[in-house]
């Protein structure tokens, strides 16, 4: 089994530019879970392979609830990715986490609704552990890279995932603060759930773009506020990826997440649905076949 890193990156289209990767190729990869957000772009940063997918598609054409999170994760698994770094715009629920800062998220509160949350289902039931939804090792490496790229970094933070596409009311924003939320966004879930089911260690760097709507002295968040910060944050994101390529150990030792499905599938083999099993060839092939 290879001990090389292959980093999957899920982010906005502004995160990738033509000069970032060496030997870059754009590839269309099909998934049995439907259409992914778009093609992947794969290439090298130094000696490390990186494969990018734009979460919202080219030109940000997909709303958060329209993203096919299952297909995106499945496609990255099919590409041979070993670990996933999600880079996402977030609103801040804490004074200390100011616009322009990065947050290495380590927990999630899922307030989304109606999204496909699992690769599994009737005919093949699985229950993965999600107490710690972020891979501590990979999150630490991503945090080190963000600090090396001169980003103001907060290590640890709870991400509140809302359905959107509207931003929160002031009452909701204050409630999420009371729940212990630190940042808020619309895409972290079910992305982190699905990465765990696919046995892919997942880390998220939240790029703070605004203060959400909990501060009485400020107007509520608007899309123009976010766009004003995104450009500078995208530059920091690209610098972080370059730093990550330099900081990764030469050999990738196994992560506990690599075997997250080891005892998670509980449907008896003779009761498993053949069509569903066929769709799970990439995500769960290690334990099913």
Catalytic residue among 83, 210, 225, 258: 210
Catalytic residue among 83, 106, 212, 225: 212
Active site residue 182: no
CA 147 to chain centre: 19
Active site residue 235: no
DSSP 3-53: ---EEEEEE-GGG--TTTSEEEEEE----TT---SS-EEEEEETTEEEEEE
- DSSP β-bridge partners for residue 48: 45
> Which residues have a Cβ under 8 Å from the Cβ of 143 and sit 6 or more positions away?
104, 153, 155, 205
Torsion angle of C-alpha atoms 132, 133, 139, 143, degrees rounded to 10? -100
Tokens at 234, concatenated: 């995208």
Q: Which residues are catalytic?
A: 210, 212
């Amino acid at each position: 089994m290879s001990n090389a890193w292959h980093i999957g990156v899920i982010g906005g289209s502004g995160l990738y530019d033509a000069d970032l990767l060496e030997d870059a190729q754009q590839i269309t990869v099909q998934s049995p879970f439907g259409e992914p957000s778009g093609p992947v772009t794969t290439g090298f940063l130094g000696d490390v392979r990186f494969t990018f997918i734009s979460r919202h598609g080219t030109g940000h054409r997909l709303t958060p609830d329209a993203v096919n999170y299952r297909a995106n994760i499945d496609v990255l698994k099919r590409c041979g990715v070993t670990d996933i770094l999600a880079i996402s715009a977030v609103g801040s629920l804490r004074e200390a986490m100011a616009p322009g800062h990065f947050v290495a998220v380590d927990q999630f509160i899922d307030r989304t609704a109606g999204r496909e949350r699992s690769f599994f289902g009737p005919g093949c039931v699985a229950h993965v552990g999600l107490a710690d939804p972020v891979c501590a090792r990979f999150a630490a490496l991503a945090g080190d890279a963000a600090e090396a790229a001169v980003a103001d970094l907060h290590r640890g933070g709870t991400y509140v995932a809302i359905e959107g596409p509207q931003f929160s009311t002031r009452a909701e924003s204050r409630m999420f603060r009371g729940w212990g939320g630190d940042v808020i966004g619309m895409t972290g879930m079910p992305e982190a759930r699905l990465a765990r089911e696919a046995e892919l260690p997942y880390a998220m760097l939240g790029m703070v773009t605004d203060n959400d709507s909990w501060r009485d002295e400020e107007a509520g968040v608007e899309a123009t506020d976010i766009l004003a910060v995104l450009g500078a944050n995208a530059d920091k994101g690209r610098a972080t990826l370059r730093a990550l390529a330099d900081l990764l150990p030469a050999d990738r030792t196994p992560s506990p997440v690599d075997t997250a499905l080891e005892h998670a599938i509980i449907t008896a083999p003779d009761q498993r649905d053949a069509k569903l099993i066929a769709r799970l060839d990439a995500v769960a092939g290690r334990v099913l076949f």
